[in-house]
């Protein structure tokens, strides 16, 4: 998902601008996964992890990475992300230089707010959403781009804390996830689960494509699916995974490893039932790929 974005901070002025060039800001280029579900969601996480200290977030993501980021989201191979260097810098960004990015995320440190602007073709630089943070870092919205389906809040399903091993067992209880497409066939394989340093649970999975019975492509992704809070609701996690299996099997095109790993309903919504998660996943597919079956 090489959709670029920009991470920025206002340098003067006040208030919530409706256009990306309405208030002065400075920022850095971010190359990979600049979508609200990717970089946008990660910036909310950063603010929460910093307990509302947006100045610290700005120092980490902008001041300490003056040449920009290939990817600021940590992974197993690069736990601090991957910065561009002076020798190979990222592209320039600024209020009048947004043509290289699809989204711009601007922190207002004093107001404890994050504004998101759409700068891709057709976006015209307009503000799409804003999130305010409490003094401890809690956002007033769980995401910058909520679907109507994601605004549901359902009763808690408390249970024993979900472990990485129990998550793996849950995955193995799902039906076989494989489908035949027009020119090939595809299969989703669960590889491993593990607990991350922040006590979330991640899944390593791969999507394998076959042509004439032979493997033609393998895509492997790490998916940080289960936040610490959701571990206290194992049935909620199970309902999400069952809904995912249901929605994937409805359409072979949905066996898209990047799309699957971008799904973050356990953070973005208060849904807890399988039917609600299925509606959310269909809505995401409809917006991402223009499908007409969001309400089915």
pLDDT of residue 288: 83
User: Does the residue 155 lie in any domain?
Assistant: no
User: Does the residue 152 lie in any domain?
Assistant: no
Q: Are residues 138 and 209 in the same domain?
A: no
d(CA 35, CA 20): 16
Q: Are residues 93 and 203 in the same domain?
A: no
Q: Are residues 188 and 139 in the same domain?
A: no
CB 48, CB 139: distance < 8 Å:
yes
What is the number of domains present in the chain?
A: 2
Q: Are residues 15 and 83 in the same domain?
A: yes
d(CA 76, CA 100): 28
Q: Are residues 136 and 187 in the same domain?
A: no
CB 205, CB 188: distance < 8 Å:
yes
Q: Could you give the percent of the chain with pLDDT greater than 70?
A: 97
Q: Are residues 179 and 252 in the same domain?
A: yes
Which helix (H) or strand (E) is 261 found in, with range? helix 257-262
pLDDT of residue 293: 45
Last residue of a domain, one of 112, 143, 174: 143
Q: Are residues 217 and 249 in the same domain?
A: yes
* H helices present in 104-183, as ranges: 164-172
- Mean pLDDT within 52-66: 97
CB 170, CB 238: distance < 8 Å:
yes
User: Does the residue 154 lie in any domain?
Assistant: no
CB 84, CB 67: distance < 8 Å:
yes
Q: Are residues 138 and 168 in the same domain?
A: no
d(CA 157, CA 237): 10
Q: Are residues 103 and 31 in the same domain?
A: yes
Paired with 157 in beta bridges are none
* Residue 235: both structure tokens together: 């049935």
> Is pLDDT of 38 > 90?
no
Last residue of a domain, one of 143, 178, 199: 143
- Mean pLDDT within 72-81: 79
d(CA 267, CA 129): 17
* Residue 203: both structure tokens together: 């899944």
Confidence band for 289, pLDDT divided at 50, 70 and 90? confident
Nearest to 114 by CA among 217, 187, 5, 201: 5
SS3 123: coil
User: Does the residue 157 lie in any domain?
Assistant: no
- Mean pLDDT within 234-262: 96
CB 279, CB 247: distance < 8 Å:
no
Average pLDDT, the chain: 93
pLDDT of residue 105: 98
Q: Are residues 170 and 93 in the same domain?
A: no
Neighbours of 58 (CB within 10 A): 20
Confidence band for 98, pLDDT divided at 50, 70 and 90? very high
pLDDT of residue 291: 52
pLDDT of residue 296: 40
pLDDT higher for 262 or 5? 5
pTM above threshold 0.85: no
pLDDT of residue 295: 39
Per-residue pLDDT reduced to its tens digit, 171-218: 999 999 999 988 999 999 999 999 988 899 999 999 999 999 899 999
CB 223, CB 260: distance < 8 Å:
yes
Q: According to the per-residue pLDDT averaged within each range, which of 122-126, 201-205, 221-225, 287-291 is highest?
A: 201-205
pLDDT of residue 292: 46
CB 139, CB 131: distance < 8 Å:
yes
SS3 186: strand
Q: Are residues 278 and 180 in the same domain?
A: yes
pLDDT higher for 258 or 6? 6
User: Does the residue 151 lie in any domain?
Assistant: no
User: Does the residue 62 lie in any domain?
Assistant: yes
Confidence band for 76, pLDDT divided at 50, 70 and 90? low
Q: For residue 254, what are the domain limits? A: 164-290
Q: Are residues 247 and 168 in the same domain?
A: yes
pLDDT of residue 197: 82
Confidence band for 156, pLDDT divided at 50, 70 and 90? very high
Scan for tokens 């992890």, then name that residue: 49
Q: Is 256 exposed, middle or buried (0-12, 13-18, 19+ CB in 10 A)?
A: middle
Per-residue pLDDT reduced to its tens digit, 116-139: 999 998 889 999 999 999 999 999
Last residue of a domain, one of 92, 108, 143: 143
């Amino acid at each position: 998902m090489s959709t670029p974005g920009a991470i920025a901070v206002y340098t003067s002025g006040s208030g919530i601008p409706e256009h990306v060039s309405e208030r002065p800001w400075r920022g850095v280029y971010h190359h990979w996964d600049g979508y609200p579900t990717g970089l946008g969601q990660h910036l909310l996480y950063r603010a929460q992890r910093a307990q509302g200290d947006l100045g610290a977030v700005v120092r980490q993501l902008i001041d300490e990475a003056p040449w920009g980021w290939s990817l600021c989201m940590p992974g197993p191979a690069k736990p601090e992300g991957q910065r561009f260097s002076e020798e190979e810098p990222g592209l320039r960004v600024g209020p009048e230089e947004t043509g290289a990015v699809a989204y711009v995320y601007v922190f207002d440190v004093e107001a404890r707010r994050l504004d998101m602007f759409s700068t891709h073709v057709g976006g015209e630089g307009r503000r799409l959403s804003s999130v305010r943070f409490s003094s401890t870092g809690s956002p007033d919205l769980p995401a910058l781009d909520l679907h109507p389906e994601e605004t549901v809040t359902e009763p808690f399903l408390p249970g024993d804390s979900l472990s990485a091993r129990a998550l793996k067992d849950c995955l193995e209880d799902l039906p076989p996830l494989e489908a035949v497409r027009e020119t090939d066939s595809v299969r989703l394989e669960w590889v491993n689960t593990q607990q991350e340093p922040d006590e979330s649970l991640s899944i390593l999975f791969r999507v394998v494509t076959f042509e004439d019975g032979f493997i033609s492509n393998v895509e492997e992704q790490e998916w940080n699916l289960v936040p610490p809070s959701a571990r206290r609701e194992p049935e909620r996690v199970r309902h999400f995974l069952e809904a995912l299996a249901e929605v994937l099997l409805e359409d072979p095109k949905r066996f898209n490893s990047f799309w699957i790993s971008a799904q973050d309903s356990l953070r973005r919504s208060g849904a807890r039932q399988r039917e609600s998660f299925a509606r959310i996943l269909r809505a995401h597919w409809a917006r991402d790929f223009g499908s007409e079956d969001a309400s089915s």
